[in-house]
Amino acid sequence: MQKVLGVLNDMQSAGIVEKYAIGGAFAAILHNEPISTIDLGIFFFLKEKGESPILSLSAIYDYANKRGFSFDHEFVNVHGWLVRFVEANPSRLWTEAIENADTIKIDNLNASLIGKEHLVAVWLFAGRAKDSQKIAMFREADFLDEVKLFDILERHDLIDLSDGLVCAFVGAQVLN
């Protein structure tokens, strides 16, 4: 993991990514919730935005290619870790999650980690079955700040999802 963090910090120093944070299932693992995953999700802001409305990750892929990292579908193999790079703009929720990421130590290096309440909010927004399971695990672990979570859900209009696909938190209750 230390090597991956070194690469991410180097990408930031090189001006390829402006800011990044670990998200997804691996973030859940770092928050002490065991979840199966095959990749390390890195959510970031590109430093240089192109003129095209179509997002290009060419700067990341060029960086990876020059360092001999291989590619496997949507993953970059960084020192044996399958890393998925996901650009967070223009989502207000993802932007807020990265801007307010927790800083943790991994192998004596600082790493940005999307906070538990923001993870729940983005999983709720995504609405996938596997995200519902992760939300339930976090709820059962009883380590969420429900006031903070409710505030995030309310500000991002996630309290009452029209499709009703996933649960929403209201106080200490989980509604299905």
Q: State whether 19 and 94 are in the same domain.
A: yes
State the burial class of residue 11 (Cβ atoms within 10 Å of its Cβ: 0-12, 13-18, 19+).
Answer: buried
Contact 20, 10 (CB under 8 A): no
State the burial class of residue 147 (Cβ atoms within 10 Å of its Cβ: 0-12, 13-18, 19+).
Answer: exposed
Reported as a single tens digit per residue, the pLDDT across 120-139 is: 999 999 888 888 889 989 98
Q: What is the pTM of this model?
A: 0.84
Q: State whether 75 and 30 are in the same domain.
A: yes
More confident residue, 118 or 48: 118
Task: Please identify, among 99, 114, 129, the residue that sits at the C-terminal boundary of a domain.
Answer: 114
Query: How many percent of the chain have pLDDT more than 90?
Result: 60
Tell me which DSSP letter residue 111 carries. Answer: E
For residue 92, give Cα distances in angstroms to 24, 96, 122.
17, 6, 11
Q: State whether 89 and 6 are in the same domain.
A: yes
Q: State whether 108 and 125 are in the same domain.
A: no
Q: State whether 31 and 108 are in the same domain.
A: yes
Reported as a single tens digit per residue, the pLDDT across 149-170 is: 999 999 999 987 523 433 444 4
- Provide the number of structural domains found in the chain: 2
Q: Which range marks the domain in which residue 31 is found? A: 2-114
At 10 the pLDDT is 95
Q: Would you mind telling me the total number of residues written for the chain in this entry?
A: 176
Tell me which DSSP letter residue 50 carries. Answer: P
Task: Please identify, among 71, 94, 114, the residue that sits at the C-terminal boundary of a domain.
Answer: 114
Q: State whether 40 and 14 are in the same domain.
A: yes
Q: Which residue has the tokens 């790493």?
A: 111
Contact 175, 167 (CB under 8 A): yes
What is the helix, strand, coil percentage profile of the chain, to 5?
40, 25, 35
At 54 the pLDDT is 75
At 161 the pLDDT is 52
> Which CATH number belongs to the domain containing residue 110 in this structure?
3.30.460
Average pLDDT, stretch 90-108? 92
Reported as a single tens digit per residue, the pLDDT across 9-25 is: 999 999 999 999 999 99
